[in-house]
Structure 1
Amino acid sequence: MAMFDPLKKAIPKLWKDRVTITGTIPVKHGSITNNEDVVIAENEPAKVVLKGQSAGQQSFYGTDTYDAKLLLRNEIKVPAGALIEVTDQNGNVTKYKRASKGYTGFYSHQELAMVRDEKA
């Protein structure tokens, strides 16, 4: 709807996080098709929202695992399984994996479920 176009342009200006999204696409080399990594978006404004982070869920081995949601422009097509690297407004970098396919049901943005799963 055209009446939401100003909202689509304004919302990303409020997001201070920056993301680089890498995914795989099928690439044909002659008669053989391979999946290759490609950068889908780089230095793109976004917002990370933590869904759940509990100190009681941290393991003895120092694994830092929690769920998060990424708010991103609808025009970016993110495949399921994409790797997402987020740089926050303070310059801290966090890597997420096992991203869901983006839910684009909102006029202003899409939402992706992500899991941070790295060694602390």
Structure 2
Amino acid sequence: MVSKSRKAIELLYRDKCTIVEYKPIKDPVSKRTNNKEVIVLENQPCKLSYKNITSTEEGKVAKLTQTIKLFISPNINIKAGSKLIINNKEYVKSGEPAIYPNHQEVILELFEDKA
């Protein structure tokens, strides 16, 4: 049963997340097994949060870094190496999630194709 506080938090979710994992798939013709992208979850409600942090060192130009945080149901398992597609942008999970009773917080990085 979903708690009232969890329902209240999930009312703030305005984004949709698609989770893609790389799984070994055997080609029926060549009999070779290659990792292919497989969608494991689609249109999961979520919320993205952005935080900009400025740091300076004496005598140097200020450096701006951005932290991207995903808020999503605590029941969702996002495996390491998964690609997340949110608002037509691709991200990867950059660390272990902070899991709370009503939500989880996952730090993301923009996905850069390794090809």
Determine if the TM-score, normalized by the shorter chain, exceeds 0.5. yes
TM interval, shorter chain, is: 0.5 to 0.7
Counterpart Cα distance in 1 of 2:19 and 2:76: 10
Counterpart Cα distance in 2 of 1:35 and 1:7: 40
Output one character per residue of 1:10-51: Cα deviation in whole Å (capped at 9) or x when no partner: 3222211111111235679xxx98655332321111010113
Counterpart Cα distance in 2 of 1:26 and 1:109: 30
Give structure 1 stretches of 5+ with no counterpart: 59-64, 88-92
Q: Which residue pairs with 2:9 in the alignment?
A: 11
From the CA coordinates, give the structure whose radius of gyration is larger. Answer: 2
Give structure 2 stretches of 5+ with no counterpart: 27-31, 55-61
Secondary structure of the corresponding residue to residue 77 of structure 1: coil
Paired residues in the alignment total 103
In 2 relative to 1, CA 36–109 (structure 1 residues): closer, same or farther, beyond 3 Å? same
Aligned CA RMSD, in angstroms, stands at 3.1
Secondary structure of the corresponding residue to residue 14 of structure 1: coil
Runs of at least 4 residues off by over 6 Å: none
In 2 relative to 1, CA 10–80 (structure 1 residues): closer, same or farther, beyond 3 Å? same
Counterpart Cα distance in 1 of 2:34 and 2:15: 32
Secondary structure of the corresponding residue to residue 93 of structure 2: coil
Work out whether residues 98 and 106 of structure 2, in 8 Å CA contact, stay in contact via their aligned partners in 1: no
Work out whether residues 13 and 45 of structure 1, in 8 Å CA contact, stay in contact via their aligned partners in 2: no
Query: TM-score, normalised to structure 2's length?
Result: 0.65
Q: Once the two structures are aligned, what percentage of the paired residues are identical?
A: 30
The answer on 1:45 being equivalent to 2:40 is no
In 2 relative to 1, CA 53–101 (structure 1 residues): closer, same or farther, beyond 3 Å? closer
Q: Which residue pairs with 2:59 in the alignment?
A: none
